[in-house]
Copies of this chain bind each other. A is one copy, B any other.
Amino acid sequence: MPLDPKEHLPVYEQIIEHICGLIAAGIHKPGEPLPSIRALALELIVNPNTVQRAYQELERLQLVRTRKGLGVFVTDNGFDVARRTSEAAVHARFAQGIKVGQAAKLHPGRLETIFRKALNGDADSRDTAAPDRPRNTESKP
């Protein structure tokens, strides 16, 4: 479910974000072990090599620490790092979207509207009316 083959992120980076999100969400807590490489590979239906690469990167980010023969554990400040990392990932997506929208000369209010729709889980940006309160964004250049 968390892996999206249509996303352009390499799978190992999607796994990094996935684990990072689980730690930021408090599902994997500091001091606790992550699922084993093999177990996660089976769960996500990917090659163990791919999971391993993700775990290595998480270790580099100080989110986890590997203890040989024991497993991979969330570090003491893993939660804080994960939260910051997740927020940075969110920020990066938003900033990318805004950059694309500004390049297309979309109005700031239009970006706002699209953001609201995305928040509400709309599948596409095609819209006919403001979702939560009336607004005026459709004036063309």
Q: How far is the CB of A108 from chain B (nearest CB, A)?
A: 5
Are A119 and B126 CB-contacts (below 8 A) given A89-B97, A93-B94, A93-B97?
Answer: no
Bound-state CA distance A97–B139 (Å) is: 17
Interface of A is mostly: helix
Which residues from 81 to 127 on chain A have a C-beta closer than 8 Å to any C-beta of chain B? Answer: 82-84, 86-98, 100-106, 108-112, 114-115, 117-119, 122, 124-126
Contact B21 A88 (CB under 8 A): no
Contact B86 A90 (CB under 8 A): no
Q: A141 near B: Cβ within 8 Å?
A: yes
Q: A26 near B: Cβ within 8 Å?
A: yes
Contact A21 B138 (CB under 8 A): no
Q: A25 near B: Cβ within 8 Å?
A: yes
- Cβ contacts under 8 Å, A134 to chain B: none
| 6 interchain residue pairs of minimum CB distance | A93-B97, A86-B104, A91-B125, A24-B104, A21-B103, A94-B118
Given contacts A20-B104, A25-B141, A102-B140, 11 further A-B contacts (CB under 8 A): A21-B103, A21-B104, A26-B105, A86-B106, A87-B101, A88-B126, A90-B101, A91-B117, A94-B114, A95-B118, A112-B137
Could you list which residues of chain A lie within 8 angstroms of chain B, going by C-beta atoms?
A: 2, 5, 7-10, 13, 17-18, 20-22, 24-26, 47, 68-69, 82-84, 86-98, 100-106, 108-112, 114-115, 117-119, 122, 124-126, 137-141
